[in-house]
Amino acid sequence: MDAATQLPTVGMIGAGQLARMTHQAAIALGQSLRVLAGDPGESAAVVAPATTLGDYRDLDDLRAFAKDCTVVTFDHEHVPQDALRTLVAEGVDVLPRPDALLHAQDKQAMRTRLGALGLPQPRWAPVDSISDVEAFGLPCVLKAATGGYDGRGVWMIDTPADAQTVLASGIRLIAEERMALQRELAVQIARSPSGETAVYPVVETVQTGGICTEVLAPAPHLDPATADQARRIAETVATELDVCGMLAVELFQTSKGLFVNELAMRAHNSGHWTIEGARTSQFEQHLRAVLDYPLGATDLAAPHTVMANVLGGAPGGPRLDERLQHLLADDPGARVHLYGKAVRPGRKIGHVTVCGDDPDLLRRRALRAAKWLQEGE
| Nearer Cβ to its own copies (24/254) | 24
Please tell me the distance from the alpha carbon of residue 25 to that of residue 220, in angstroms, as a whole number. Answer: 28
| Cα diameter, the chain | 63
Of 332-361, which residues contact its own copies (CB under 8 A)?
332-333, 335-343, 350, 355
Q: Which stretch binds its own copies (CB under 8 A): 2-10, 176-184, 258-266, 358-366?
A: 2-10
Minimum Å distance from CB 113 to its own copies? 30
Decide the pairing of beta strands 304-311 and 71-74: unpaired
Cis amide leading into 139 (omega within 30): yes
Of residues 156 and 328, the one with the C-beta less far from its own copies: 328
Identity of the residue, 235 or 276, whose beta carbon is nearer to its own copies in the bound complex: 276
In 3D, which of 174, 132, 170, 136 has the Cα closest to residue 155?
Answer: 174
Please check if 90 is assigned to a binding site.
no
* String of contacts with its own copies for each residue 10-49, x by CB under 8 A: ----------xx-xx-xxxxxxx--------x---xxxxx
The answer to whether the Cα torsion of 61, 238, 305, 212 is positive or negative is positive
- Give SS3 for 140: strand
Q: How many residues does the chain have?
A: 377
Size of the site for its own copies (CB under 8 A): 57
CB-wise, 136 or 339, nearer to its own copies? Answer: 339
Q: Does 311 bind its own copies (CB under 8 A)?
A: no
Cβ neighbors of 297 (< 8 A, separation 6 or more) are 198, 278, 279, 280
Tally of CA atoms within 13 A in the half-sphere of 351 that contains its CB? 24
Nearer to its own copies, 143 or 231 (CB): 231
Asked if 294 contacts 196 with a C-beta cutoff of 8 angstroms, the reply is yes
Chain CA centroid to CA 309, Å: 13
Q: Which amino acid is at 147?
A: G
SS3 155: strand
Tell me the C-alpha distance between 199 and 79, whole Å.
26
Q: Which of 64, 135, 156, 328 contacts its own copies by CB under 8 A?
A: 328
**Gap between the Cα atoms of 353 and 260, Å rounded:** 26
- Sites for its own copies among residues 135-154 (CB under 8 A): none
- The window from 111-119, 200-208, 247-255, 326-334 that contacts its own copies (CB under 8 A) reads 326-334
Site track 270-309 with its own copies (rule: CB under 8 A), x = hit:
------x--xx-------x----xxxxx-x-xx-------
Binding residues vs its own copies (CB under 8 A):
1, 4-8, 20-21, 23-24, 26-32, 41, 45-49, 51, 198, 276, 279-280, 288, 293-297, 299, 301-302, 319-321, 324-325, 328-329, 332-333, 335-343, 350, 355
Annotated binding site for ATP: 107, 143, 184, 261-262
Query: What residues are designated binding site?
Result: 107, 143, 184, 261-262
